[in-house]
Amino acid sequence: MSSTFFEALDIPRLFREYPSGAAFPGVYQAMSTDELRAIQERRLLRVMRRGWTTPFYRRLWGREGIEPGDISGLDDLHLLPVYDKSDIMAAVEAHPPLGGMTGTAANARGGGPPMILHTTSGTTGTPQPLIFGPWGREVANLLVGRMYTWQGLEAGDVVHSVYGHGMVNGGHYIREAVTHFTPALFLSAGTGNETPSRHQVRLMNRFGATVLVGFVDYLRRLAEVAEREGLDPGLDIPVRMIIGHLGTGGRREIEQAWGGAPAYDWYGVADTGSVAGEGPDRDGMYVWEDAHCLEVLDPESGEATTKGDMVITCLYKEDLAPVIRFNTHDVTEWLAGSGAAGLVFRRIRGFLGRSDNMVKVRGVNVYPDSLAGWIAVQPGCNGAYYCRVTRDPSGREELTVVVEGTSGNTDRLAHELRLLLGVVVHVDLQPPGSTAMVTGVDRRQKPIRLVDERK
């Protein structure tokens, strides 16, 4: 008979291998880089053994002539090919429905290990399956829970989450992290499609939300909705901290929107879970190197660099669907030195844009995500925007940045954007709330930043 989810989970081992709560910072402040390296080596070999049982990796590695035993440690990791979402979706197409990612033909119904199945949103095509076993799922949950508590989440807090639900992973994953690994109360509001924005701010007020979690574009919009509903953000809704995805900017704006509550940044993707996050010092994002091996590679050459694509190997996903050298195409930069918190973990600057969301306009590479920080601090602008690329009848390409605001000198904005990007830019200033239909900020976890009308 198959075991159930928690029967299959070694809970004492979970807390032994991944210290959390009050013990967390001290363990990793006292740890040496050699000790951390030894932990990573052991966990990598366990993950590699699992990887060789999966058809996906056997096909991927076999094409490169790699055999079991060729990878004996971290120094050999670069010998493995990187892969990305397109490789996963090609495998799913050729070997439905899971693409051979699990290493077993059985599932929880047929005698195999317990399995959790989510998908990506599928807004750009067929949804990608996301597969978790009990160990991989709960380690991922623990990493978020220990990050939240280190940042300051405590008993008595009421956490209001705007991560989405349905088949997507986000809302379920964060709910499990908070309810399993923190003492806080959780409000699972979801996106604006799931719980209308005006209802969300009323829920926050009624239950006294003290912590907001989610993507900051929508959290900033909720502050505007609260004011329209006659509620004072930060007073009628007593928010004391915000934990979201600040991206390339917007910390000051989201803090001001919610009465000065401090905002904390973190990074992760659906495939990998939480990879890095700020600590109480907010001195860069600490990479959870006991759980991940993070490589930063040049998008063109694939060589290690200080600024480039994040390629991630999860050192904990050993039970069902390993993640070994997954290219997120999210760009970051290593920070020099150690952070003020004194952890053994290295730090990154955070999410700086996507290398595969780059658009070429008249021969110049433009990264729409990278404009968020610049736009957020412009007088009269509220931080909402998207980029539109068009081609006129003569074939000339035009880049227009559509920006929300109550006022602003569009000529000045266009001039400064031209200096920033190296290409002529038009600026279209629109009233607050007008870009939401295009960006999908009310219904998507990540707003759309690029509309390419040349195709």
Q: What are the sequence ranges of the domains in the chain?
A: 358-452
pLDDT for the residue numbered 24: 97
Pair of tokens at residue 7: 């029967």
DSSP string for residues in 334-385: BPPS--TT--SS-EE-----BGGG-EEETTEEE-GGGGHHHHHTSTTEEEEE
Phi, psi (5° rounding) for residue 86?
-65, -35
The pLDDT assigned to 299 comes to 87
Contacts of 151 (CB under 8 A, 6+ apart): 241, 243, 264, 277, 278, 279, 280
The predicted model gives 348-355 an average pLDDT of 86
Q: Which of 55, 64, 137 is nearest to 104 (CA)?
A: 55
- Amino acid 326: pLDDT: 97
Asked if 368 contacts 387 with a C-beta cutoff of 8 angstroms, the reply is yes
The better pLDDT of the pair 15, 361 is held by: 15
Distances (CA, A) of 224 to 198, 254, 334: 10, 11, 35
Other CB atoms within 10 A of residue 313 CB = 25
C-alpha distances in Å from residue 145, one per residue of 21, 116, 139, 180: 8, 19, 10, 8
The pLDDT tens digits for 246-259 are 876 678 889 999 99
Confidence of residue 108 (pLDDT cuts 50, 70, 90): very low
pLDDT tens readout for residues 416-426: 888 888 888 89
pLDDT per residue as tens digits for the range 160-202: 999 999 999 999 999 999 999 999 999 999 999 899 999 999 9
In what side-by-side order are the strands of the sheet with 307-314?
Answer: 292-297, 307-314, 326-333
Cis before 114 (ω within 30): no
Q: What is the pLDDT of residue 253?
A: 85
Are 389 and 398 contacting, i.e. CB atoms less than 8 angstroms apart?
yes
- Residue tagged 């400064």 (tokens): 416
CB count within 10 Å of CB 259 equals 16
- Per-residue pLDDT at 125: 62
CA distance 371 to 352: 10
28 touches 18 (CB < 8 A): no
pLDDT exceeds cutoff 60 at 210: yes
Tell me which CATH homologous superfamily contains domain 358-452.
ANL, C-terminal domain (3.30.300.30)
Q: What are phi and psi of 77, to 5 degrees?
A: -60, -35
Torsion angle defined by CA atoms of residues 16, 265, 245 and 241, in that order, rounded to the nearest 10 degrees: 100
pLDDT digits (tens, 9 = 90+) for 366-408: 778 778 778 877 888 888 899 999 988 888 888 999 999 887 7
State the chain's maximal CA–CA distance in angstroms.
70
User: Which range, of 89-93, 110-114, 277-281, 431-435, averages the lowest pLDDT?
Assistant: 110-114
Cβ pair 108, 2 in contact under 8 A: yes
Instruction: Name the 3-class secondary structure at 94.
Output: helix
Name the pLDDT band for 48 (thresholds 50, 70, 90): very high
Confidence of residue 123 (pLDDT cuts 50, 70, 90): low
58-75 per-position pLDDT tens digit: 999 999 999 999 999 999
Instruction: Please tell me the least confidently modeled range out of 17-31, 96-110, 219-233.
Output: 96-110
pLDDT at 136: 96
- The pLDDT tens digits for 5-39 are 999 999 999 999 999 999 999 999 999 999 999 99
pLDDT at 363: 75
Q: Which long-range contacts (CB under 8 A, 24 or more apart) does 338-343 make?
A: 339/279, 339/281, 339/283, 339/284, 339/286, 340/281, 340/283, 341/25, 341/29, 341/279, 341/280, 341/281, 341/283, 341/286, 342/29, 343/25, 343/28, 343/29, 343/279, 343/286
Give me the percent of the chain exceeding a pLDDT of 90: 67
Q: What is the pLDDT of residues 304-329, one digit of tens each?
A: 999 999 999 999 999 989 999 999 99
CA angle 27, 32, 38 (to 5 degrees): 95
Residues 199, 359: Cα–Cα separation, whole Å: 38
Q: What is the CA radius of gyration of the chain?
A: 22
Q: How confident is the model at residue 110 (pLDDT cuts 50, 70, 90)?
A: low
